[in-house]
A and B are shown apart, each in its own frame.
Chain A
Amino acid sequence: MNKAILLKEWIKIRIILLVALVASFSATIYALLKINRVVSFKGGFHLWEIILTRDVVFIEVLKYIPLLLGVMFAVAQFVPEMTQKRLKLTLHLPYPHTQMIAMMLLSGISMLILIDLANVALMYVYLNSVLPVELLHRVLITSMPWYMGGIAAYAVVAWICLEPTRGRKVSALFVGLGVVYLFFASDYPQAYDNILGILLLVIVALFFFAQLSVARFKAGCQD
């Protein structure tokens, strides 16, 4: 049954997955080419100096890409479920509801994380050749909240989609905007180092809200 659930989610998001891969790789390669240009013209030491003295990480162009991917994945997965109240079909299956929604969310997050990891790996391979390990970590850790923000955006959009009433959808939108903003509020490198654990808990809480909305759907809440 788990395999069947994953198959259904795969059918919904396979095209988006391809678009997401191409878009995110293009952006990452663009950011790395920019770094490569600095290294080619001014040398590696100049790059290190800028990273250390000007509080930049050279990959700021990637900041909102995970956010965009999170929104795309959630829309691709959950809008078809709520059109014509199709979620009834899913919830009618002989499978525990909470587990069903958790599986659907998990499949989306897994795809997102895979894409994020592929991009981080691409950056790691190149940056490892031009930056010392301390600066490499600085760049990658600075990007961590952005990737986490992408997952938070995914959870928020899933919550909005699964919520059966318009009023609460609007509330979820405002709460979601506020929460997602947290992940992108500071441009300062490694500004989030001490609160990454808290941000992780925030993401878990957002997934809990999506489950609550499904429970409301099942109880017949509607406009």
Chain B
Amino acid sequence: MENIIECKNLTHYYGKRLIYKDLSFNVPKGRILGLLGKNGTGKTTTINILSGFLKPREGNCYIFGEDIQTMQPALRQNIGLLIEGHVQYTFMNIEEIERYYAAFYPNWNRTAYYELMAKLKIAPKQKISRMSCGQRSQVALGLILAQNPELLVLDDFSLGLDPGYRRLFIEYLYDFAKSEGKTIFLTSHIIQDMERLVDDCIIMDYGKILTQQPVTDLMNNFKRYTLSSDHAEAFKAMLEGNQLIYNPATRRDQLEFYSFADQREIGEILAPMQLPTQQLACETMNLEDIFIGLTGKY
């Protein structure tokens, strides 16, 4: 499958603080990829590198096969960018901003923009600065839809939105991407939104990628295991350091841990430790619980 984004061995520091080292990933054409990570793991850094506003210390990023650091301006016609907080030119009104952007994009679809604007209860001359955060998000989305790019890069699109606007944003975005085969690379703090929207996800921890795979595979393969025992703390200590076990923890007398391994493999790991495996419970999870399972609560 053709890759729209290819990032190879990205390494970046802020001062002496390492953000990540040798980060590599691809985004295939027509897929929606979500980048998940705790605060400070480098999500916005990655978006900044992808949008050409940050030069990584090492490594290269290619979009449509072109190095983003030397990308021709014309190629940016095919990249829609949503900046964190739905930043737009707030000194303009919705007509002025539409007229402004239309001049830069030959495939501009003003109908798509005004269809979305018609849903907002705003006056045509109302300045964007006087709109609510939700309304501003729809203006930003409408402009991206009208631009009709092949690739959308969205940084924390759900920031500041109430559930209604979040749902509206996701539905429009999903329909747009799936009906026209667009590629989307996005980040969000609200992982339930990602579950509804993304095909693939990358989960990042400090300095590295923990996993990159289709969300359905992740939800089928990554499981939570629980076990009740009076010696939960001791068992937890035994499991720590095992490469197949993620974030073992105890709550009262219950041991909890996560793993990509299936129940048989876990049984084999636990047997030498003399854990009461007959009480072992295994369950699949939603994406948010998977995220916590992989990255831990702290």
A residues in contact (CB < 8 Å) with B: 1, 3-4, 7-8, 11-12, 80, 84-86, 88-89, 91-97, 217-220
Contacts and interface: CB of A to CB of B under 8 A. Distances in A.
Interface in B65-85: 73-77, 79, 81, 83, 85
B74 A84 contact: no
A93 B104 contact: yes
Contacts of B9: none
Contacts of B160: none
B131 interface: no
Contacts of B105: 94
Contacts of B74: 94
Interface in B257-283: none
Contacts of B89: 8, 80, 86, 89
B88 interface: yes
B96 interface: yes
A85 B87 contact: yes
Interface of B: 48, 51-55, 73-77, 79, 81, 83, 85, 87-92, 96, 99-105
A8 B102 CA distance: 13
Given A4-B101, A86-B87, 8 more contacts: A80-B91, A84-B87, A86-B88, A89-B83, A89-B89, A92-B81, A94-B105, A217-B53
Nearest to A99: B73
B91 A12 contact: yes
Contact of A92 (B51, B92, B99): B51
A220 B50 CA distance: 12
Nearest to B56: A220
B160 to A, nearest CB: 12
A220 B96 contact: no
A220 B88 contact: no
Most A C-beta atoms less than 10 A away, residue of B51, B90, B99, B104: B104
A170 B218 CA distance: 50
A84 B88 CA distance: 9
A94 B53 contact: no
A7 B85 contact: no
Contacts of B88: 86, 89
26 contacts: A1-B103, A1-B104, A4-B101, A4-B102, A4-B103, A7-B100, A11-B91, A11-B92, A84-B87, A85-B87, A86-B88, A86-B89, A88-B51, A88-B81, A88-B83, A89-B87, A89-B89, A91-B53, A92-B52, A92-B79, A94-B77, A94-B105, A95-B73, A217-B53, A219-B55, A220-B48
A178 B48 CA distance: 35
Contact of A7 (B48, B52, B77, B96): B96
B53 A88 contact: yes
4 nearest A-B pairs in the assembled complex, by CB-CB distance: A220-B54, A4-B103, A94-B76, A94-B77
A8 B51 CA distance: 22
Given A11-B92, A92-B76, A4 B100 contact: yes
B230 to A, nearest CB: 53
Most A C-beta atoms less than 10 A away, residue of B75, B83, B88: B83
A95 B79 CA distance: 13
Contacts of A4: 99-104
Contacts of B99: 4, 7
Most A C-beta atoms less than 10 A away, residue of B48, B79, B96, B100: B100
A84 B73 contact: no
Contacts of B83: 84-86, 88-89
Nearest to B79: A92
A51 to B, nearest CB: 45
A171 B102 CA distance: 38
Contact of B54 (A1, A91, A219): A219
A1 B106 CA distance: 11
A195 to B, nearest CB: 39
Most B C-beta atoms less than 10 A away, residue of A4, A8, A96, A218: A8
Contact of B75 (A84, A91, A94, A97): A94
Contacts of A3: 103
Nearest to B105: A94
B76 A93 contact: yes
B113 to A, nearest CB: 15
